[in-house]
Structure 1
């Protein structure tokens, strides 16, 4: 054995360990190092196959049929968006190296997907078929859905199943009994049933009887297309539920729980009722029944005084996730009460935070320089606020409302106060910033990602992976881009408009950012 073969980075075990931690974007470069690197790391490149909604001839960066067939045995996760001609080769080719998938994620239920599912029924643990709309070929989709259930009935290891939108041809009690043996997660998004009697006011009990879902821990029901009695029966037969998503639903769930006709699962700790038709008082009564609640999504609901008081008194200190974006009944005072009294929060979203409230944090103590500046610049009409206690936040989405008019010095002070508070959240991985500008407002945008306006205060966000700035008037120059590349080394995605400080075309700006931080993707 020569000296080259003894190098640690040529040992297969070490290379495989390295491959598990390499970003997918860097794998093609690593394959070119040498033959041994290529043969050892190539399976990691093919572990997940994503097929986009374009013909192969128009996607030069996509795999060719030859490459696909040569490496199909490495594929473990298939993700198809739309239709793609490569799916035909994957489904119908005859090779001595069969594919062994553990998960299938598609947006269209097609004969090719059914064939691939049948071929991998023994290894499949997850099947997800999501689309944005109900397809025109509803009859064919219904038949394919029936065939899918026949196949998945034979999948011994299936633990995750998501479907929709689609019209099922058979009563759900027959279908779900067949595939529910080991399911831990079930999602039905705009799923209808072609059995009119199930939508009637009076439904025979034998039509909705289901087996008990002992393993089911997460249930998602979106919209109200699924027969209401079947929705309730699904929850009733899932005694070990930990997470329930009842998004865009009616008052049916609340009425069933509040009346006592449906028991609240004893282990339920996560509830998503976003966009649902509940009033504030009913929501408060419903929350009072969930003693172990640590995660709540109430986006675009009437969540307000009653629900907040109940949450603060019962579950407040233990809350980990709280999403309250677009809750019109909440004001800035209530949002700041949450941020100053829930220390364990990891995920939070809310709108209409007042910029002056951020300024009052700086005024109330801790930062003596900020205190002196704010005291000299204001007339002491601001009520002092305690600082945020949820410094372990990992995901934050906030919409900030600035004053309708303010002097340039106040403008800069408000922006600085906001960035200083955000800069204390050193565990942030995702930051979504929006600014609310009311009609007829005299001042310009308050938040701007320039070093002048306070970007430098965010230097401590070393864990930041995603930055969303769709609601900001973002102006940047080369100085800001160099700062981002230096300080936010883990940044992967920037979503939102990027404008040059000079007001010229921003394409050179985006190219410069990708040069400085190749991993970052700008959308």
Structure 2
């Protein structure tokens, strides 16, 4: 065994499954381990800012420039939180294996328009010298809107392997709007524009641009570009597979249904955050030939929409109906019992009577995110608390028995924040939680504020101990414990258990203050293959829309004895 662990091939294989902290421990064991594992620490690197959020010098520890240059060739993903060309330029040029760049301007000081233009010129020089680049992300902010230059955008055409381009809160004049679209009409397969501002003068009718390679198009609150122009943009993507479209403007549904299905015959994923009424959704669902993934959050989804959706039951894989109050519990149940290929479902409410009334066909479900209600409010009015608990425990166990059948679940959320405490599924081993030991693949569990209920909190430590014992792959637990006014030690004990097993605790109450309502997805998994395989390409082209953050542990790197 000792000889095997000295083989570079074995060490490299093991290293793929180690966390950064584990790698840091291993490289101190012996030199052969260090030489094989140390490069893995640099696969993702963040250029930390020199100032904090208040403009004062940052206390973040950063590797020195010599150490950065020495390991530059190991970097695959580079996150730039502050662009300082005078300091970083030579380091950038030595990142010969770079495949992904994310540039955020929040901490970059730009004192003039000329300074910003020089920044884009430097970034363009850097990009065109890295032929392995596959993904570029430019993040701006409302307080410091960036205006990527035509020089930079034209450089994208010189990146032969670039397939993903994302921009946020950027501003484009007419010249740069045309350059932006021209750059994305080449090899780009996934394009995301979020809260960008384009020139209102641009019109597709005077352009021959066609986005033949485009597979995933993400248009979120595009400013100054008319809805008609956005529809023209969509129809210029003949091989489009997935459309994410968010706007507060009224869309011409009839025109959309006439043009998009014929122009984009391969379109099977629709993520529509639009002010759509029931009849409009019905019209769209009837016009699209085949739907596999569907998101209709914040819409007036209702009876007509549901009738039109039934036609897509045989092909439906993922559906999101959260914040769509018209999507009733009975509708959620019918979707779960009628879609044999369903892998993910999100909705507002699923009631006891609908959960237990029939078998569930979707045995391959990997994600379940629906608030479960055991009792309706009218059933609670005339019952005393102690009586309620006695006659409902069988109902809770019946619900858990149904959930236990979904043995392939990786993501489970059983509660929404909108509900009062009464009537929700009880998070208790006595109420049947133990039946979920069948969920062997579970990596994420959310009970939101259920942990704050008095009876649940009394058993919180015991419950969490059960979770870590039976859910061996659990990575994240989302709940609320800090709301309890008394210091009963439950929070500290629970945190110690989770920390001991390497499980992240996401405090739901804190998250409510900072997020828009959706779960922040887990860090994107590192890929250590040097070859650009179809599997690696899928990492960039997967139909997901969350922004993974994988911040580099610079302070630990400073402690490595080089």
TM-score of the superposed pair, with normalisation by structure 1: 0.82
Counterpart in 1 of 2:512? none
The answer to whether the aligner puts 1:450 opposite 2:457 as a matched pair is no
How far 1:64 sits from its partner (Å)?
4.5
Do residues 518 (structure 1) and 514 (structure 2) align?
no
Q: 1:204 to 1:427 in 2, by over 3 A?
A: closer
1:481 and 2:464 matched: yes
State the Cα deviation string for residues 45-93 of structure 1 (Å, max 9, x = none).
1101135666585234x5444432332221110134xx458x6687234
Instruction: Tell me, in whole angstroms, the C-alpha distance in 2 between the residues paired with 1:413 and 1:42.
Output: 54
TM-superposed deviation, 1:304:
1.2
Bigger CA radius of gyration = 1
Question: Which residue number in structure 1 is paired with residue 439 of structure 2?
Answer: 461
Indicate the residue corresponding to 1:334 in structure 2: 331
1:343 touches 1:390 (CA, 8 Å); kept in 2? yes
Note the C-alpha offset of 1:155: 1.7
Contact 1:477 1:509 in 2 (8 A): no
- Cα distance 1:177–1:355, how it changes in 2: closer, same or farther (>3 A)? same
Q: Which residue of the other structure, out of 385, 390, 394, is the alignment partner of 2:366?
A: 394
Q: Who is 1:163 aligned against?
A: 167
- Shift of the 519–348 alpha-carbon distance from structure 1 to 2, 3 Å rule, reads same
Output the CA distance in 2 between the equivalents of 1:71 and 1:451.
50
* Aligned counterpart, 2:215: 217
- CA distance 1:63–1:463, shift in 2 (3 Å): farther
- 2:10 pairs with one of 1, 6, 14: 14
User: Using CA pairs below 8 Å that are at least 6 residues apart, which structure has the higher relative contact order?
Assistant: 2
Pairwise CA distance, 1:113: 7.8
> How far 1:330 sits from its partner (Å)?
1.9
Q: Unpaired segments of 5 or more residues in structure 2? A: 109-115, 508-562
8 A contact 2:120–2:152 mirrored in 1: no
- The equivalent residue for 2:524 is none
Of residues 164, 181, 190, the one that matches 2:195 is: 190
Aligned to 2:125: 118
Instruction: Map 1:4-153 to 2 at 5 A.
Output: 7-51=3-47, 58-60=59-61, 63-80=63-80, 83-84=81-82, 91-93=88-90, 97-108=94-105, 115=122, 118-121=125-128, 122-131=131-140, 133-136=141-144, 138=145, 141-142=146-147, 144-153=148-157
Conserved? CA contact 1:210–1:237, under 8 Å: no
Structure 1 position 409 matched with structure 2 position 390: yes
Cα distance in 2 for residues equivalent to 1:217 and 1:72: 32
In the alignment, is the contact (CA less than 8 A) between 1:72 and 1:97 conserved in 2? yes
The residue number in structure 1 matching 2:404 is 423
Match of 1:509 in 2: 493
CA drift of 1:18 comes to 2.1
Q: How far did 1:519 drift?
A: 4.4
CA distance in 2, matches of 1:344, 1:29: 43
Instruction: State the partner residue of 1:320.
Output: 317
Q: After the TM superposition, which of the residue ranges 24-33 and 252-261 deviates more from structure 2? A: 252-261
How far apart, in 2, do the equivalents of 1:197 and 1:97 lie? 41
CA distance in structure 2 between the aligned counterparts of 1:300 and 1:153, rounded to whole angstroms = 37
How far 1:262 moved relative to its partner? 7.6
Q: Give the conservation status (yes or no) of the 8 Å contact 1:215–1:240.
A: yes
Query: Structure 1: which 5+ runs fail to align?
Result: 362-384
Aligned residues of 2:481 and 2:491 also touching (Cα < 8 A) = no
Q: Give the drift of 1:173.
A: 3.3
Aligned 8 A contact 2:235 2:259 in 1: no
Note the C-alpha offset of 1:96: 8.7
Q: CA deviation at 1:177?
A: 1.3
After superposition, where does 1:338-357 map in structure 2 within 5 Å? 338-357=335-354
Q: 1:492 aligns with which of 466, 469, 475?
A: 475
Structure 1 stretch displaced more, 166-175 or 256-265: 256-265
- CA offsets per residue over residues 210-242 of structure 1, 9 Å max, x none? 422111111111114151243223212210001
Equivalenced residue count is 473
Match of 1:309 in 2: 307
Aligned to 1:468, the other structure's residue is in SS state: strand
State yes or no: 1:280 paired with 2:278. yes
Deviates more, 1:45-54 or 1:490-499: 45-54
Return the alpha-carbon distance in structure 2 between the equivalents of residues 12 and 88 of structure 1.
37
**Residue 345 of structure 1: how far off its partner (Å):** 0.6
